[in-house]
Amino acid sequence: MSSSLSTRPLFGGAIDLDLPREYLDASDLRQIPDNQEVFLSSTSDTAIVLEVLGMVEEGQAGVDLWEAAKFHFSSIAHDNASLESTILTTPPSAPIPSGPATASASASATINGEQPVNPEATTISGTQVIHKFSHNPTGAPREGHEDDTPDTVWIGVGLWRIWFEDQSTQTKMKKKADLVLSVNVNLSAEGGTGTQEREKVESWFFDHCVKSLKIRDFGLFGDSQ
């Protein structure tokens, strides 16, 4: 691992995540949605996004975390107006079951001020062919860029499902959310540095960054009806 990582408190300290020291907080440069934390490499086009999203329940994504991870990968492709999307991760041999955790493993740990218990991350990666800079968010080319060659981008994704119900209290708390961490590397970067950047990022993203995530306050995730 060539990058030096340090712990960053995110969402007001509700989450801790190890990120490369040289990555810049995008909120210092532009407005970022309240449900996102975005960090930009100071030496490449690589970006990292952590999002708090509603729990996906369409089809099998509500009961199988692999299908949920595929859904979020496809959602990123849609947001990127991707021309082509390919998953490279080998599918698991069996579904990864998704169901509500017990209150003692989630909600009460936070209520009592104890260390929260993290759900396990489900990971996936692949490539998407997009017009990273020359097209607008709809995928249409900007004026003067009609003939630009699209970029191939490597996408890595980590998914944590936040799902628990506390039936032991009068409030009957229920939390249902998907916490999604993604990184994108432009394999078509000028100078032919894209493959080397991917190898560097992949060496720390899954084994260090994803494994480092700690939820300190489950209050970050709003109560669901």
- pLDDT number for residue 143: 64
Domain annotation covers residue 182: yes
Q: How many domains does the chain have?
A: 1
Burial 183-218 (b: 16+ CB within 10 A, else e): bbbbbebeeebbeebbebbeebbbeebbeebebbeb
Residue 225 lies in a domain: no
pLDDT in tens, 35-44: 999 999 999 9
Specify which residues 159 forms β-bridges with.
122, 180
Q: Amino acid identity, residue 72?
A: H
What is the structure's pLDDT at 25?
A: 97
- Does some domain include residue 141? no
> Which alpha helices (H) appear in the chain, and where do they start and end?
65-79, 107-111, 194-204, 211-212
Whichever domain contains 197, its CATH number is 3.40.1000.10
Residues spanned by the domain of 66: 5-136+149-220
Instruction: Examine residue 144 and state whether it is found in any structural domain, yes or no.
Output: no
pLDDT value of position 115: 45
Which residues of the chain register pLDDT less than 70? Answer: 1-2, 102-116, 133-147, 166-173, 225
Is 143 inside any structural domain? no
| pLDDT at residue 63, rounded to an integer | 96
Residue 132 lies in a domain: yes
**What Rg do the C-alpha atoms of the chain give, in angstroms?**
18
Q: Is residue 216 part of a domain?
A: yes
- Classify residue 197: in a domain, yes or no: yes
